[in-house]
Amino acid sequence: MNKTRLDPVSEQAIDWMVRLRAGKPDAALQERFNAWLAMDPEHAQAWATLQERLGGSFNTVRALDRRVPGQAGEARQLLLQPHGSRRDALRVIAGLGLLGGGLWLGARSPLGDSLLADLHTGRSQRQDFDLADGSRLSLNADSAVDLQFDEQQRLVILRHGELVIEVAADPLRPLRVRTAQGEIRALGTRFLVAQEQDASRVVVLQHSVQARLFDGTTLDLQAGQSALLSARQIEAVAGDQRHRADWLSGRLNVLDEPLEQVVEALRPYSRGFVRVAPEVRHLRVQGVFPLDDPDRTFTALAETLPIRVNRYSPWLTLIRAK
């Protein structure tokens, strides 16, 4: 299922909105904004969409004084303060219901998840983060997490996407990664967690972890082992699955996977919409492919499988049987 994602251009438009409304007019800032706007038609389109949704001068937020004075005043102060941020601005706007039912900037969509998350990556972007406890977190493209670290706990909430974490030892606060299906608990270890459509995948890269569903079901996993967490069960996956972390080096390592899953792994790196026809989705694939050049990967797949790849624009790719 194709999901609306927060793209870098939309992020830039939101950043410009916050900066331009943060304080007194600044000629130099306005000049830089005009240059950004003229740089690419996509910039102008993203800006127009943002203004249509939120209002060019935050008049919608100001008008809320008549409806909910306390909340609107707080929102106005936050949105217009000199040190406003994209995340803070959108959190308040979402809380006031100004995002409406649209997918663009939807607070409950992957796009909204990215806006409101503590850490996130965009399309084609991988990033490493040093956490406050000394752990090392890596996010695959189009991923988002929240962090809840205090004196009692270390909790990473994976909103969407995929992560690898190297956990700093702390016996008093075992680190947990929470997904839509359950939690993965570790002391000192390194493991991968991916939020898939109807399940969570965990792969142990070093040492061991414990996977737990919300109903209390648990499964201990050792280095090289993997499991899928669904709503009612934890299913062990056969074979050493550590190759799934090769995205850290920009590679997609595929060992006898269906074409549909290969394309799904490429979506966070692909521009536009990629559709796989039902009759070829289950073709088996094996090989190592570059994540940062999905077009090259699609071409390679067309050379080795009975498929053809039709690109109708940078925004639409159809994969079907020959």
Q: What is the pLDDT along the chain (322 residues), one digit of tens a residue?
A: 344 444 677 777 877 876 776 555 677 888 888 888 888 888 888 877 776 655 433 444 444 444 444 444 444 444 444 444 555 555 544 444 444 434 344 444 555 556 667 898 988 999 999 999 999 999 999 999 999 999 999 999 999 999 999 999 998 999 999 999 999 999 779 999 999 988 999 999 999 999 999 989 999 999 999 999 998 899 999 999 999 999 999 999 999 999 999 999 999 998 888 889 999 999 999 999 999 999 999 999 999 999 999 988 777 889 999 8
Torsional sign, CA 53, 54, 57, 61: positive
Per-residue pLDDT, 66: 42
Per-residue pLDDT, 175: 96
Angle CA(31)–CA(15)–CA(150) in degrees, nearest 5? 145
Q: How far lies 5's CA from each of 105, 110, 297, in Å? A: 9, 6, 22
Q: The tokens of 178 are what?
A: 């929470």
> Which domains can be identified in the chain, with CATH numbers?
8-116 (no CATH), 120-242 (2.60.120.1440), 250-321 (3.55.50.30)
Asked if 206 contacts 225 with a C-beta cutoff of 8 angstroms, the reply is no
The C-alpha torsion from 55 through 61 and 62 to 64, rounded to 10°, is 130
- The secondary structure of 84-101, three-state, reads CCHHHHHHHHHHCCCCCC
